[in-house]
Amino acid sequence: MAILLYVTITLACTVYVHAQSKYCCTPQQWESVNMLIDGRDTAGNATKPLLTQGYEQVSVDGVNHKIASLSTLTTSSGFNITVQVIQLYDKGIMYTVEDGECKHSALPAWTPRCVPDDAKLLTKYSLGQGSVHVDVDVYSVTVGPNTVFLNIASADCTPIYQTAYGSAAGVSALSMKTYSNFTLGIKDPIVFNVPSICNNATYLQKLPHLHPLH
Ligand SMILES: *[C@@H]1O[C@H](CO)[C@@H](O)[C@H](O)[C@H]1NC(C)=O
Ligand SMILES: *[C@@H]1O[C@H](CO)[C@@H](O)[C@H](O)[C@H]1NC(C)=O
Ligand SMILES: *[C@@H]1O[C@H](CO)[C@@H](O)[C@H](O)[C@H]1NC(C)=O
Ligand SMILES: *[C@@H]1O[C@H](CO)[C@@H](O)[C@H](O)[C@H]1NC(C)=O
């Protein structure tokens, strides 16, 4: 179970960037349904990497400094995993509910979700064509031992796609996230309610992560 927890935690975390962005910042409040694919070499010499795929429903509230996500994932080793993560930045606490257990860990102060200043603008491309096309900027960002490629809509900084690769705790991983059904605002703030099971949350040491914006 340790590996599964690790996988899902890395997918759910964020990186912290400065408020005055050199590039752009995502809209203040938004929700999306993200498709996740994560492959990692768990044995070092495994013939096939462990594949985890599924969906993540995410709500980002930059006004009240909260992020919630609910991920439903399946691994190639035959596990189904549901993970709920609630990050309450003004309280400095993050709850992770997995497998009927709630864990809590500490969070630093909120910072706006922006393309980090140390990112490099690599290239630009366009999706679709004619009047329905979307112009996309591709940035690379180094996050500890990991490299992340952020694909962001040029017009309004909407996240489109992220790829991350790197390693943590001796495990190498490649991880992809496609943002879909992006909407502005928070439809129902109930997503930020802390489940009662978390009254007795145990402490979880924060683990390294791969994805920078969310
Ligand atoms: C990986 O290599 C080690 C040492 O050579 C071996 O003992 C182990 O069985 C291998 N694991 C797999 C999954 O092949
Ligand atoms: C995982 O979920 C899939 C699709 O819902 C289901 O077919 C499969 O039996 C589940 N596997 C386990 C181990 O529960
Ligand atoms: C995403 O949006 C499409 C089109 O509106 C809709 O059919 C689909 O059910 C939505 N998917 C999710 C997972 O919300
Ligand atoms: C929560 O912890 C308290 C104190 O350790 C204990 O009395 C209580 O039974 C626990 N509740 C649950 C739901 O586990």
Residue 57 alpha carbon, nearest atom of ligand 3: 13
pLDDT of residue 133: 94
Cross-strand bridge partners of residue 165: 147, 174
Distance (Å, rounded) from C-alpha 211 to C-alpha 150?
9
Residue 53 has pLDDT above 80, yes or no: yes
Token pair listed for 64: 């009240």
Per-residue pLDDT, averaged over 45-71, amounts to 90
Nearest CA to ligand 1 atom 7: 45
Least confident interval from 83-92, 133-142, 167-176: 167-176
Residue 44 alpha carbon, nearest atom of ligand 1: 1
Comparison of pLDDT for 138 and 200, the residue scoring more? 138
Token pair listed for 19: 């408020």
Mean pLDDT of the residues in the chain: 84
**Which ligand sits nearest to residue 33's alpha carbon?**
3
Compute, in angstroms, the gap from residue 80 CA to the centroid of ligand 2: 6
C-beta separation of 57 from 69 below 8 A: yes
**pTM of this structure:** 0.81
Predicted confidence band of residue 186 (pLDDT cuts 50, 70, 90): very high
- For residues 159-192, one letter each, b for 16 or more C-beta atoms within 10 angstroms of the residue's C-beta and e for the rest, the string is bbbbbbbbebeebebebbbbbeebeeebeeeebb
User: pLDDT by residue (tens digit) across 93-147?
Assistant: 999 999 889 999 999 899 888 999 999 999 999 999 999 999 999 999 988 888 9
Residue 49 has pLDDT above 90, yes or no: no
**Residues within a 6 A CB radius of ligand 2:** 74, 78, 80
Compute, in angstroms, the gap from residue 79 CA to the centroid of ligand 2: 8
pLDDT of residue 99: 85
**Which stretches does DSSP call E strand in the chain?**
29-41, 50-61, 66-75, 80-88, 93-98, 101-106, 120-127, 134-143, 146-153, 159-168, 171-184, 202-203
pLDDT of residue 44: 60
